[in-house]
Homo-oligomer: A and B are copies of this chain.
Amino acid sequence: MNKTGKDLDEAGTPSNFKVRSIDLETGEYTVIMNRQDAEVLGLRSLDRVKISNGEGMIVAIVELTGSVVEKGALGILKNGRRSLGVSDDDEVRLVPVTRPRSIEIIKKRLDRIELSTEEIQILTEEITNHRLSDIELSAFVTSTYMQPLTTREIKDLTLSIVKNGEVIEHDVEPIFDFHSVGGVPGNKVTLLVVPIIAAAGLYIPKTCSRAISSAGGTADILETVANVTLPGHRIKEITETVGGTIAWGGGVNIAPADDIIIRAEYPLAIDPYSQVIASVLAKKKAVGADHLLMDIPTGPQTKVKTMDLARTYARDFMEIGQQIGINIQCAITFGGQPIGRNIGPALECKEAIQILEGIPPSSSALEKATSLAGIILEMSGFSGDGKEKAAELLRSGEALEKFREIIDAQGTEIKDITAEDVPIGNFSADICSVQRGYVSSIHNKKLVRIARAAGCPHDKLGGLVLEKKNGHQVDKGDVLFRIFSSNEQKLKLALSTAKRLSPFEIEGMVLERVPGERVIHTVQ
């Protein structure tokens, strides 16, 4: 029984229909009706109807057909049949209803009117319950892009998203959390930060995502060696016993409204500012975070392009965090080139373990991870140098041991994992410099496109290993990076993509800039 239909007025006379199964899935409840029936009932495409039988009731969106469903029948999709408990030829009662209130509320947004707390709650509830069509949802998403929500509206949206999903309540405290806004390739630092923090005796139930447009999300990376799909109660248990998790956020039903909103943002390739904040904070609030460190990679080729924007994000994150009871600090980090050497799920996992083992292939990932973990340690009240303490937890092997405990608790077949245990693709090819000079820039997005051409993120064993980074000197013929793939065809595609895109710029002079990855700014 979809309780959110109760507020909709019946707007016509009821009639009976015979169920016809349509084997399709949609997010929202949709029913397919013959055009002639719709005409009699005065219904148009995307109007709403209440469907009920003895047991259940749903509010569904009407789609019309000339031929798929005959007169007197009603095509009902899987989710609707499940909720109603009906199957072919069962009878259901249908009555047109008024539009959901959320449409009026979206219209207000289009007219640039600030929404009340109650309106945001209604809207979020109806989004969560799949009551909006794609057209309506897109209008809301577009409006938040063209006219950002106010800080108060973002706060209300965040809390509404939390309320309309699963919440993990811990029996221990305080709970720490870490989140990167993303946008920079090779950012495997979560695999370092979580074990360092847990090794320090703190609690960090980290949930993370899979790749959307990147070569690999943290969930994809860890999944090359361990299970990442954990229900909420397992996240709680592992956090309380081992100290931390690195779990896939999609495995637990936190903030489902956010997933629905993101689905509408993806085809438009937009990341509305206010939505980004609500999205992140809702997920952190839902896992019970008391203290949160935000990593905001900044640079012209990342999501956050300027320091000004990064500072605005930082300020709003902290302000809204305070309003919803999360103590937030933000680290604006260098996003001008990939973090570390490796890009792609297994390769990033391998590099993270190398760092845990004390044999980092490059300094930037180590540097970034210890800086970030150090801030969290200082947030916990540690009075010394947090970064030094983090480095110490790495050096002593305690972080490696904690990493092994975490993946063991989450589920892995590999005991006492080492970097050697991480499989990588069998096919590889080198991309070499055609001239002598210095690496003056590395194009993040081009590298991601090459890694994806090689099969990432689906091919977890594919990816790139950078042999040179910004400021490095190269000779003609030097290897710039190596491409890996499990599939020879994809390797070839990645090679031709690499040649076409040319992601490295080599210039014949020494660059003035200090390799940026060493710079880390903290806003507090």
Contacts and interface: CB of A to CB of B under 8 A. Distances in A.
Contact of A138 (B12, B142, B145, B266): B142
Contacts of A24: 22, 24, 32, 65, 68
Given A142-B110, A458-B39, A266 B13 contact: no
Contacts of A25: 65-68
Contacts of A136: 138, 267-268
B146 A110 contact: yes
A328 to B, nearest CB: 29
Interface string A58-78: 000000011110000000001
A450 interface: no
Nearest to A26: B63
B270 A110 contact: yes
Interface string A244-277: 0000000000000000000110111110000000
Interface stretch (A40-48, A152-160, A194-202, A384-392): A40-48
Interface string A425-468: 00000000000000000000000000010010110000000000
Contact of A458 (B42, B141, B145, B452): B42
Contacts of A142: 110, 138-139, 142-143, 146
B266 A44 contact: yes
Of A25, A41, A110, A138, most buried by chain B (CB within 10 Å of CB) is A138
Contact of A107 (B110, B212, B269, B493): B269
A106 interface: yes
A7 interface: no
A507 to B, nearest CB: 29
So how many copies of this chain end up in the complex?
A: 2
A363 interface: no
Of A41, A110, A139, most buried by chain B (CB within 10 Å of CB) is A139
A490 interface: yes
Contacts of A134: 133-135, 138
Contacts of A268: 103, 106-107, 110, 135-136, 139
B143 A458 contact: no
A67 B82 CA distance: 15
A44 B41 CA distance: 36
A15 B387 CA distance: 50
A42 B138 contact: no
A144 B175 CA distance: 45
Contacts of A12: 493
Contacts of A32: 24
A367 B240 CA distance: 82
Interface residues of A, number: 53
A275 to B, nearest CB: 13
Contacts of A489: 13
A68 B23 contact: yes
Contacts of A143: 142, 146
Contact of A135 (B22, B46, B106, B264): B264
A412 interface: no
A345 B452 CA distance: 59
Contacts of A42: 452, 455, 457-458
Nearest to A269: B107
Contacts of A67: 23, 25, 78
A147 interface: yes
A99 B46 CA distance: 26
Nearest to A489: B13
A100 to B, nearest CB: 10
Contacts of A147: 146
Nearest to A459: B40
Interface string A267-304: 11110000000000000000000000000000000000
Contacts of A457: 42
Contacts of A141: 135, 139
A48 to B, nearest CB: 10
Nearest to A25: B65
A137 interface: yes
21 contacts: A13-B489, A22-B24, A24-B24, A24-B65, A25-B65, A25-B68, A67-B78, A99-B267, A99-B269, A103-B267, A107-B270, A110-B145, A110-B268, A134-B135, A134-B138, A135-B264, A136-B267, A138-B138, A138-B139, A139-B139, A142-B143
Given A13-B490, A42-B458, A138-B139, 18 more contacts: A13-B489, A13-B493, A22-B24, A23-B67, A24-B68, A25-B65, A42-B455, A46-B266, A68-B78, A110-B146, A110-B268, A112-B146, A135-B267, A135-B268, A142-B142, A142-B143, A142-B146, A146-B147
8 nearest interchain CB pairs? A138-B138, A134-B134, A46-B267, A135-B138, A142-B142, A139-B142, A23-B68, A39-B458
